[in-house]
Amino acid sequence: MATITIPKNLIKNDDLVVLPRKEYEELLAKQARQTGKREIKVKRSVFFRVPKKHERFYEKLDQELTECLKDCENGNLIRPFSSVKEMRRSLEK
């Protein structure tokens, strides 16, 4: 059995927790999924070929779709309204 010595300056207010690396990484991955901190990037398939003159349009479209998906994940979206009053209130915000 291996023995380690932990310096007192690392232990503040009994806040020390020791975890195996694998469990720690799983915990971080689970937390990232719950908080929505994953990488979102829209990129069209290599099989979807476009003419060179439209290349910039599709690149910009990919960027805009990426931004929209990030907004949706963060909850920055407007849902369908059941009345005109709801829509006006939302737009005035």
Q: What is the pLDDT of residue 71?
A: 82
In sequence order, the 6+-apart residues with CB closer than 8 A to the CB of 23 are: none
Residue 77 within any structural domain of the chain: yes
- The pLDDT of residue 69 is 85
- Which pLDDT does position 65 carry in this prediction? 92
Rounded to the nearest 5°, which phi and psi values hold at 51? -65, 150
Distance of CA 23 to the CA centre of its chain: 21
Domain assignment present for residue 4? The answer is no
pLDDT in tens, 51-82: 999 999 999 999 999 988 888 777 777 777 88
33-57 pLDDT, tens digit each: 776 556 778 888 888 888 999 999 9
10 domain residue, yes or no: no
Proportion of the chain in helix, strand, coil states, percent, rounded to 5: 55, 0, 45
In three-state secondary structure terms, 29 is helix
Q: Looking at the domain assignment, is residue 7 inside a domain?
A: no
Which H or E run contains 93?
none
User: Quick one: how far is CA 18 from the chain centroid?
Assistant: 27
pLDDT at 17: 78
List the domain range (segments joined by +) for residue 61.
18-92
Domain count, the chain: 1
